[in-house]
Amino acid sequence: MNLDIWSIAILIIIFQGVFLLLVLLISTEKRTKRGNIYLFFIILVLIWYLIEFLLIRNTVNVKLGIFYGTRYGSWFLLGPLTLYYFLSITDITWKWKTKSLIHFLPFILFVVIIPLCSDDIINKRQVDYGMLSVFDHRKKSISLLQYMYSFIFIIQFVHLGVYLFKNIKRIKTYTETIKSEYATVDIGIKWARVFNMILIIVLLFSILFLYILLVTDIYRRYLDYIYVLPIGSLFFLISYSLMNTDWKSIDQNIEKYAKSSLKTENIIAYVKQLNLLMGDKKIYLNNEIRLLDVAKQMDIPSHHVSQIINEHFKSSFFDFINKYRVEEAKNRIVENPKYTLLQIAFDSGFNNKTSFVNAFKKFENKTPSAFRKEHTDIL
């Protein structure tokens, strides 16, 4: 094996991935976190792709055809794994069932069953020059099955793309649901978006590489790495963010307001009670306040509180709480000009500066710094 700088980079990424697997296996705390079991298999599959890539580029022959899974469609595996990862972190009620295997059928069929039943799937030219070499202008003898697997090679990337773009919608829905029950959005959601986006980048770079190879008939060895190296950034993201995230649980069974038992004559009393909790008791200063906590203090079901906030105040729970926090922060900025904005953010109920700045900009159309400067100039 020729260990050039690129191969060394790939080896470092592989070792990082192996380290992640060992951490997930050894640490009981991390192993039992929601979603980490699917992260484990995602990492395992990506390591497989990297080792396969490294050995192919260094012309190392493994006496096991299925090891070179990308030729058969091994990327069919990654889409379903990301699906179950995002389901496990966004829906606490979701559980693995036998029928969940249906998403793995393309992988089982094209990578496991057919290769075991036939030896005429890939010819020497496809091995030496890639699966798409059947589409070039050179004279060749290709069987129907070999042509089929050349198309499957492309379809596996389209298949992954469908799952990744559906994940975008799934994360958005989860974020909106979080905002209906929590006054803070977990930073983990940001990393989940980044995680999915990096996978999309890997996919897009893979397509770019295949386009260059197929349409221009230009092959440069270093071009392979445009879709491999981003996997390294994905491993580091998992190391420092996703592996340690505790995902918020959400109530999947909040009733629809059309079926609500909340009586109109009670709404006025509940609104007054809610205003008292916010205005006098300032429950929004608790940076971990949840819809359920407010419901307990009002002694009514959480979906009734949600209905009152949505219909009477025309707001989500997230915005309802943060609007009070921004007003609190404005008063503190004016009254305590020597306090840092971070201190004011925490004192007002926010649990990080980013949420504070975003909320302030949403309700005041300016940053806390700009607001402070305006009032400092007045003084």
Q: What CATH number does the domain containing 123 carry?
A: 1.20.1070
What is the percent of the chain where pLDDT is above 90?
A: 27
Q: Which of 244, 265, 291 is the last residue of a domain?
A: 244
Residue that has been written with the tokens 């710094």 in this structure: 369
pLDDT digits (tens, 9 = 90+) for 263-292: 666 778 888 999 999 989 999 999 888 888
| pLDDT of amino acid 132 | 67
Question: Which stretch of 3-12, 76-85, 335-344 has the lowest confidence by average pLDDT?
Answer: 3-12
The values of phi and psi at residue 321, to 5°, are -70, -45
| pLDDT of amino acid 194 | 86
Q: In the chain, how many domains are there?
A: 2
> Does some domain include residue 250?
no
Domain membership of residue 307 as a residue range = 257-378
What is the percent of the chain where pLDDT is above 70?
A: 84
Other beta carbons within 10 Å of 29: 8
Distances (CA, A) of 309 to 272, 279, 294, 312, 319: 12, 15, 11, 6, 10
Nearest to residue 213, comparing CAs of 195, 233, 199, 227?
227
State the DSSP string of 221-287.
Answer: GGGGGGGTHHHHHHHHHHHHTGGG--PPP--TTPPPGGG----HHHHHHHHHHHHHHHHTS-GGGST
Residue 337 sits in a domain whose CATH number is 1.10.10.60
pLDDT digits (tens, 9 = 90+) for 148-198: 888 888 899 999 999 999 999 988 888 887 877 777 776 778 888 888 998
Indicate the Cα dihedral angle 69, 67, 37, 7, nearest 10°.
Answer: -90
pLDDT band at 333 (very low <50, low <70, confident <90, very high): very high
> Does some domain include residue 249?
no
More confident residue, 252 or 185: 185
Residues 111 and 15 in one domain: yes
| pLDDT of amino acid 180 | 76
| pLDDT of amino acid 178 | 80
What is the average per-residue pLDDT within 140-145?
73
The values of phi and psi at residue 255, to 5°, are -65, 150
What is the average per-residue pLDDT within 204-227?
68
Q: Which of 221, 244, 267 is the last residue of a domain?
A: 244
263 Cβ neighbours under 8 A, 6+ residues apart = none
Nearest to residue 62, comparing CAs of 41, 42, 48, 78?
48
42: left (phi over 0), alpha (psi -120 to 50) or beta: alpha
What is the average per-residue pLDDT within 11-18?
89
pLDDT band at 119 (very low <50, low <70, confident <90, very high): confident
Q: Which residues pair with 182 in a beta bridge?
A: 290
The one-letter amino acid at 63? K
| pLDDT of amino acid 221 | 55
The one-letter amino acid at 330? K
pLDDT band at 30 (very low <50, low <70, confident <90, very high): confident
| pLDDT of amino acid 79 | 94
Burial 13-26 (b: 16+ CB within 10 A, else e): bbebbeebeebbee
| pLDDT of amino acid 312 | 84
Residues 79 and 177 in one domain: yes
Whole-structure pTM value? 0.75
The one-letter amino acid at 316? S
Residues 154 and 281 in one domain: no
Q: Is the dihedral of CA 73, 77, 78, 80 positive or negative?
A: positive
CA–CA separation, 255 vs 302, rounded Å? 10
